[in-house]
Chains A and B, each alone.
Chain A
Amino acid sequence: MKRSATPYLFLLPYLAIFALFWAWPIIESLLLSFQNTRVYPPVWDISINWGRILGDAAFWDALRNTVLILVIQVPLMLALATGLAIGLNSQLLRAKGFFRFAFFAPVVVGAVAYSAVFRLLFNQNGAVNAALGLELNWIFDPVGAMVVIITTLTWRWTGYNAIIILAGLQSIPKDIYEAAEIDGASPWQQFWRITLPSLRPVLLFCLVLSIIGTLQLFTEPWLITNGGPGTATTTLGVYLYRQGFQNINFGYASTIAYAITLLALVFSIIQLRLFGRDQ
């Protein structure tokens, strides 16, 4: 190998930014979580934030809400996305362009735009009540507000996941299905025996992305329900924003951030244990 500085020159601009705005903040967040930042200058106080978070009912509320979304919305969305991907991949489907546009279009819509729309749709005098003949005040009802958040997220992200799953479907060799067909396997059997096992790595990837995405959910609950009513839709992201940027307590917010990071780590390990290393 020729010794040269060239590769380092190619890397330097990116690594400088990466070092300053990612590598360093990961460490600084941890350091901040061990400091009392409510005094100036901040002082080291190893247990102040971590001690607080354990007994903080509002944090546990936020964690409960986030986990609730995680266990309801993510499986719902992934099942729907898998079904959609199989439908869109089917040779029996006509007007594919229309269907693809309908389900994939939310991918380009910004969170602020669709949050505003869904807030209007679920208004007491809004389109959803008009269509269902209800007079429910969704956003001011604890369960209703959660339903709105879950609906919004599902609308936005199902197509996105379907795109990834569709790409996975298209990489399954066709002749496996032909062989199964000749052996007399029903479509249902083909789905359980061929499609689903082949999609495992792709579904795992979608699951990991969705879990990390849900753990840092902020914009939708912030704009649609403002975390309410009460703390009914306060997610970890909303709680972190309130602590960090409304109460200006960077130390405690860093502790929340690291708690979220630890959760992401735990989920990743569980996934690897449950599903094995497919990659």
Chain B
Amino acid sequence: MKRQLWWRSLWLHLFLTPLALLWLAPLWLMFVFSTQPEIAIFSTPTPILPGNQFAANLQSLQSDTNFLRTLFNSVMVAGIYTVLSIFLTSLAGYAFARFQFWGKGLLFSLVIATLTIPYFAVVIPQFILVAREAKTLLAILIGMAVFGGIALLLAWLRFSPTLGRVMWLGYAVAALAYLFFGVPALREAMTFDFRLTNTWWAVILPSLANSLGVFYMRQNFLSVPMSLLEAARIDGAGEFRIFFRVAVPLVLPAMAALAIILFLASWNDYLWPLLVLSDREMQTAPVALGSLIGLTRVSWGGIMVGAVMTTLPFLVLFLFLQRYFIAGITAGGVKD
């Protein structure tokens, strides 16, 4: 029996080791290429050890694009996005986990349903929203007013003794109100100019509608013992105080996992920043790198430097914080 296990172990390692090396090869070669002159990258045999051209490649990258500036943009965009998104999704997740309120089922299924809707279904109107020629954040205000109005309407219907019992009527009224008032108001608002293109906000705002984050925070707030929150309530703490002082500290590790995943997703995002950032000074690092790849006369060593600089910090973090990355990735998939 023991002998049999030894053979199984041997086969396992014989199979996995070459595969693992093959998997690491692109990352290793990315690093090697970033330190080699262009001519070496395309020579046979391919160089497999680092050279000494990193500084020269960095310099050519910096002159092709203002790469350090784009790195700064990336840090700011991903940082602001992560903070705001954690704030919004945990507030919403807490509401879904902690409170019973009218319209909860509908709103939650609405938010969750968007998880299976391809991003392309919204990208064009999103683009029109942030790119249109106009002056103010009027559309956001109108959007908030419309949905706030619907929320208040739902709340009122709940309180009204006769209508409160016929829930479907409330949903129908809300849907009609949205179709007749919300849709035209938003279409009207879209003709105003946000002038958000080439700003950090153009990248940040649309991605804040992150339903996976809401779902994830809800799951975590559900695991907080309700009795603890009730105790704080009996002590006379307000709802927001309970949220910040009692509930949030209890889910901090989960929040950290979500923050890492959100930061990474924002950092690596390509399509949306490509659409809304055309000004070279405002581009994020992936967009700047991507713009170089299509060009014919370009330093591949420089591009590899950019790839290394956008990747290496996360590889190092990954070595130390693997647990958090993995917690963030498995968040949606596996029930405990």
Name A's B-contacting residues (CB within 8 A).
1, 3, 5-8, 10-29, 32, 84, 87, 90, 92-94, 98-121, 123, 125-127, 130-131, 155, 159-160, 163-164, 167-168, 171, 187, 202, 205-206, 208-209, 212, 215-216, 218-219, 223, 226, 236-237, 240-241, 244-245, 250, 253-254, 256-258, 260-261, 264, 268, 279
- Nearest residue (CB) in A for B128 is A250
> Do B23 and A25 have beta carbons less than 8 Å apart?
no
> Could you say which of B224-232, B251-259, B309-317 contacts chain A?
B309-317
What is the minimal beta-carbon distance from B315 to any residue of chain A, in angstroms? 6
- Given A105-B318, A116-B307, A125-B42: A168 in contact with B334 (beta carbons within 8 A): yes
B304: CB under 8 A from chain A? yes
B53: CB under 8 A from chain A? no
B105: CB under 8 A from chain A? no
What is the minimal beta-carbon distance from B149 to any residue of chain A, in angstroms? 11
In the bound complex, how far is the Cα of B118 from the Cα of A237, in angstroms? 11
In the bound complex, how far is the Cα of B110 from the Cα of A105, in angstroms? 34
With contacts A108-B311, A113-B289, A167-B330 known, what are 16 further pairs, Cβ within 8 A? A10-B91, A11-B96, A20-B129, A20-B139, A84-B16, A87-B12, A98-B20, A105-B318, A112-B286, A116-B307, A117-B27, A117-B30, A125-B44, A205-B334, A216-B118, A257-B121
> Do A117 and B140 have beta carbons less than 8 Å apart?
no
Name the A residues within 8 Å of B26 (CB-CB): 114, 117-118, 121, 155
> Do B146 and A260 have beta carbons less than 8 Å apart?
no
B188: CB under 8 A from chain A? no
In the bound complex, how far is the Cα of B57 from the Cα of A68, in angstroms? 38
Chain B 120-149 against A: per-residue CB contact (8 Å), 1 yes, 0 no?
111111111100000000011001101110
B100: CB under 8 A from chain A? yes
Interface residue tally for chain B (C-beta within 8 Å)? 115
Name the A residues within 8 Å of B234 (CB-CB): none
- Given A29-B124, A125-B43: A107 in contact with B325 (beta carbons within 8 A): yes
Name the B residues within 8 Å of A1 (CB-CB): 100
In the bound complex, how far is the Cα of B333 from the Cα of A257, in angstroms? 26
> Do A102 and B99 have beta carbons less than 8 Å apart?
no
The contact of B124 among A25, A107, A219, A261, by CB within 8 Å, is: A25
> Do A6 and B99 have beta carbons less than 8 Å apart?
yes
> Do A7 and B95 have beta carbons less than 8 Å apart?
yes
What is the minimal beta-carbon distance from A217 to any residue of chain B, in angstroms? 11
> Do A126 and B46 have beta carbons less than 8 Å apart?
yes
Name the A residues within 8 Å of B163 (CB-CB): none
Pairs A-B, 7 closest by C-beta atoms: A110-B268, A25-B125, A113-B307, A10-B95, A25-B122, A102-B20, A7-B99
Name the B residues within 8 Å of A131 (CB-CB): 46
20 example contacts (A-B, Cβ-Cβ < 8 A) are as follows A8-B152, A14-B88, A14-B91, A14-B209, A16-B140, A19-B144, A23-B110, A25-B126, A29-B122, A29-B125, A92-B5, A102-B23, A111-B286, A117-B30, A117-B33, A126-B46, A168-B334, A187-B8, A215-B118, A260-B118
Name B's A-contacting residues (CB within 8 A).
5, 8-9, 12-13, 15-16, 19-21, 23-27, 29-30, 33, 41-46, 87-89, 91-92, 94-96, 98-101, 104, 107, 110-111, 114, 116-129, 139-140, 143-144, 146-148, 151-152, 155, 158-159, 182-183, 186-187, 190, 205-206, 208-209, 211, 214, 239, 243, 264, 267-268, 270-271, 275, 286-287, 289-290, 293-294, 300, 303-304, 306-308, 310-311, 314-315, 317-319, 322, 325-326, 329-330, 332-336
Name the B residues within 8 Å of A6 (CB-CB): 99, 239
- Given A102-B21, A114-B26: A7 in contact with B101 (beta carbons within 8 A): yes
What is the minimal beta-carbon distance from B253 to any residue of chain A, in angstroms? 16
> Do B209 and A126 have beta carbons less than 8 Å apart?
no
- Nearest residue (CB) in A for B141 is A16
The interface centre, meaning the residue of B16, B114, B315 with most chain A CB atoms within 10 A of its CB, is B16
Name the B residues within 8 Å of A245 (CB-CB): 127, 275
The contact of A223 among B25, B33, B293, B334, by CB within 8 Å, is: B293
Name the B residues within 8 Å of A3 (CB-CB): 155, 158-159
What is the minimal beta-carbon distance from A88 to any residue of chain B, in angstroms? 8
The contact of A11 among B92, B143, B287, by CB within 8 Å, is: B92
- Nearest residue (CB) in A for B152 is A8
The interface centre, meaning the residue of B33, B111, B307, B310 with most chain A CB atoms within 10 A of its CB, is B307
- Given A10-B94, A21-B122: A264 in contact with B117 (beta carbons within 8 A): yes
> Do A25 and B286 have beta carbons less than 8 Å apart?
no
The contact of B120 among A102, A121, A257, by CB within 8 Å, is: A257
> Do B303 and A116 have beta carbons less than 8 Å apart?
yes
In the bound complex, how far is the Cα of B91 from the Cα of A279, in angstroms? 26
> Do A261 and B121 have beta carbons less than 8 Å apart?
yes
> Do A117 and B144 have beta carbons less than 8 Å apart?
no
In the bound complex, how far is the Cα of B237 from the Cα of A141, in angstroms? 68
- Given A21-B122, A29-B124, A92-B8: A116 in contact with B304 (beta carbons within 8 A): yes
The contact of B322 among A104, A168, A250, A258, by CB within 8 Å, is: A104
> Do A18 and B333 have beta carbons less than 8 Å apart?
no
- Nearest residue (CB) in B for A170 is B334
In the bound complex, how far is the Cα of B317 from the Cα of A29, in angstroms? 39
- Given A26-B121, A257-B118: A10 in contact with B99 (beta carbons within 8 A): yes
